[in-house]
Structure 1
Amino acid sequence: MTEVRSTDDVSEAVARLEHEPLRNIVLLKHIEAFRDHVSVAQLSTGRNTATLVLLDTSASAYDRETYPEAAFAALISSDDPGLTRRLIGSLPRQRHIVFKLANDADRDVVAEQFPLRRATSFLSFTAGEPADFSADEKVSITNSAPDTMLDLFESQGHSREWLCPLLSSGHAFTCVLEENREPRSVCLAFQNHRQIWEVGGVVTPAQHRGQGLASRVVRSSLAELQRRRLVPRYQVNEDNLPSIRLATSVGLRQFLRLTHFRTW
């Protein structure tokens, strides 16, 4: 019988997840962002590994707003259904859980033990090969953001309290296309985990849409990440068709679909 190795040591689990950082970026991002509010369990047999990250949803603004009934968010990355089955065996049945799953195999195993209702899905994109992005000379890239820009980012769920410390510490930057000191389109890039940085907060005020401005700030952010030799990630809800078209039009490719399932 193959020996199953178990660990709840976060550093050890992260080291294994980092073998495939893009595949596991959602788990790595949650561990990085909510280190004091997650528990991690990992089982391994030789080359196969299954990892469960369990987040207290009270720590996540997105989950508090989107899934107020949920006590936990459970994220799974697994090479083996048998290991997945063992991992979820200890999850609380009496509390509502939102599962965030990246493949059908994990969904099928979870569905053996929990009633699942599909909620939504998020697509993640990254640079294709070869990648060659050019910055727009009229787009400013900076580690600061005036109130007008912060207001736009907050409209996309990126609070000042979260963003300003990242900017001041060098773990984020903003891109803005201005005219007469008025932002016409903005986006930001921020660190998810180590070399993987997410491009998000893409906003073009309604009166300036339809002019291709968003693609100019996004391309500039991708060019800056490429200059820094960082790996871009662009995440979008499955219903946001304009943002999906933007991702593909600037040369990004989809590498992950993360689907949310509720147990209530």
Structure 2
Amino acid sequence: MNDKIATLLRNHRMENISLLKMIEAYGPAISCSVVERGAEWGMLLALPTKQSAFDLAKYPGTASVIFLSGSHAPILNELLDQVPQDKPLVFKVQHPLYKALVESKFQVSSVRSFISYSCAEPLTAADDAEVREEAAVHDELLLLWRQNGYSEQELRRMFAGGARSFTLYRGSIPVSTCIVFCNDDPVWEVGGVFMCEEHRGNGYAKKVVSRAINSLLRRNLIPRYQVVHDNAASIHVAESLGLKKAVVLEHLLYAPNHQAGHRQ
């Protein structure tokens, strides 16, 4: 990653964590335009949709995924003027200003958003000794995490990079689990949350998530718990534990000829 780009984004690390993750994951495939004028700056990142398995599945037919960040609206406006309007696009915006700028130039529809929660103090709700922390990858857990959209290759790469799992067992059966992995040090994500259907309502997901978050805090890391906007169960886990919203990343779909609203 270009040191200058990283420095600019890390000045507001949590707000820009999705951009930092994308750069880390897709590096050379991302085109980046940066404009600096004195202390003011603006940045536009474009990732071909075909490079991202998630975006290709969610937004087939789109050409690129576009991210913005910056301190100066006029600079961001200039960068947006460089974006072709003849191809379908996905804009991922993490600030109301960026959304307003995109909407001023593109007819877009909001299709989904992702809420990132965090905290700075240990959770007291359920740092449960029943929850087992492990650094090794177990095949039975891989099957559960893959139900959240992770590939086996991606998961093994996470664990090779220091990821850990937090699992609650009943006998030898894992009934709830999650993983923690690095986004951009010191921000680590709590993801892959799984809860067996027959054990729902027992607070097991809260136990594994709170144990995972407390483990990160003890290591002086910043936890990030991300949920999609319509996942009521995950939102309940976050808010019942006392986690606070840190950033909302909204996906805006653009299609030429004013068809954006028809593509859900």
What TM-score do you get using the length of structure 1 for normalisation?
A: 0.91
Per-residue deviation, residues 123-157 of structure 1 (Å, max 9, x unmatched): 111114x4445632111111223222111100000
Shift in Å, 1:204: 0.6
Question: Is the 1:72–1:96 Cα contact (8 Å) retained in structure 2?
Answer: yes
Distance 2:240 2:51 in 1: 35
* Residue 234 of structure 1: aligned partner: 225
* Residue 237 of structure 2: aligned partner: 246
- Structure 1 unaligned segments of length 5 or more: list them: 1-8
Distance 1:105 1:169 in 2: 35
* Residue 186 of structure 1: aligned partner: 177
| Identity percentage of aligned residues | 31
Structural mapping, 1:59-70, within 5 Å: 59-70=51-62
1:173 aligns with 2:164: yes
What TM-score do you get using the length of structure 2 for normalisation?
A: 0.91
Distance 2:86 2:3 in 1: 30
Per-residue deviation, residues 166-214 of structure 1 (Å, max 9, x unmatched): 21331x1111101221101000111111210110111111011110000
When residues 23 and 169 of structure 1 are mapped into structure 2, their CA distance, relative to the original with a 3 A threshold, is closer
Shift in Å, 1:12: 1.1
3-state DSSP of counterpart to 1:34: helix
Question: Is the 2:16–2:94 Cα contact (8 Å) retained in structure 1?
Answer: no
Give the one of 47, 50, 54 matched to 1:58. 50
When residues 27 and 169 of structure 1 are mapped into structure 2, their CA distance, relative to the original with a 3 A threshold, is closer
Aligned partner of 2:54: which letter? Answer: Y
Two-structure CA RMSD over aligned residues (Å)? 1.5
1:99 aligns with 2:91: yes
1:145 aligns with 2:154: no
Distance 2:207 2:39 in 1: 43
Question: Is the 2:122–2:214 Cα contact (8 Å) retained in structure 1?
Answer: no
1:77 aligns with 2:59: no
- Structure 2 unaligned segments of length 5 or more: list them: 256-264
